[in-house]
């Protein structure tokens, strides 16, 4: 503690107490009585590789259980209100910082979006398969 902001009378009174506390802790530490209880260090990526964790174990597929094939489940985005703009396009139109430009079939061609993860301004629609995010 530097004593900055304290009245002059308190600044000098603090030093002997701080020195006494530091001396007491040094003596206890030297005697092994005040050894800090630190958690073990977290291993870095190299330690994980050395420990054989680089390749995760994959459980064998259960007989008779169908495999997950993404293309079988994602047939496209829904157009619940029938206006020819699917859910993804409606979200892009709603979240664009400027009026978004659309092409045939409500395909979003351009606009400006703020990337929630990087803070950058995007000038074209995101190319990812999903535009969802979690708070």
Domain map (residue ranges) of the chain: 1-34, 80-135
pLDDT (0 to 100) of residue 74: 66
Q: What is residue 73's three-state secondary structure? A: helix
Rounded CA gap, 58 and 68, in Å? 15
Query: Which parts of the chain register pLDDT below 70?
Result: 1-15, 19, 28-54, 74, 126-135
- CA distances 40 to 36, 46, 93, Å, are 12, 16, 50
């Amino acid at each position: 503690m530097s004593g900055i902001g304290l009245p002059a009378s308190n600044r000098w009174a603090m030093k002997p107490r701080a020195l006494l506390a530091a001396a007491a802790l040094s003596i206890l530490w030297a005697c092994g009585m005040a050894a800090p209880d630190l958690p073990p260090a977290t291993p870095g990526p190299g330690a994980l590789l050395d420990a054989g964790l680089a390749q995760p174990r994959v459980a064998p597929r259960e007989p008779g259980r169908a495999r997950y094939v993404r293309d079988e489940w994602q047939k496209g985005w829904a157009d619940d209100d029938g206006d020819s703009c699917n859910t993804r396009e409606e979200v892009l139109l709603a979240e664009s910082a400027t009026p978004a430009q659309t092409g045939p079939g409500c395909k979003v061609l351009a606009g400006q979006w703020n990337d929630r993860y990087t803070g950058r301004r995007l000038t074209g629609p995101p190319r990812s398969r999903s535009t969802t995010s979690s708070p």
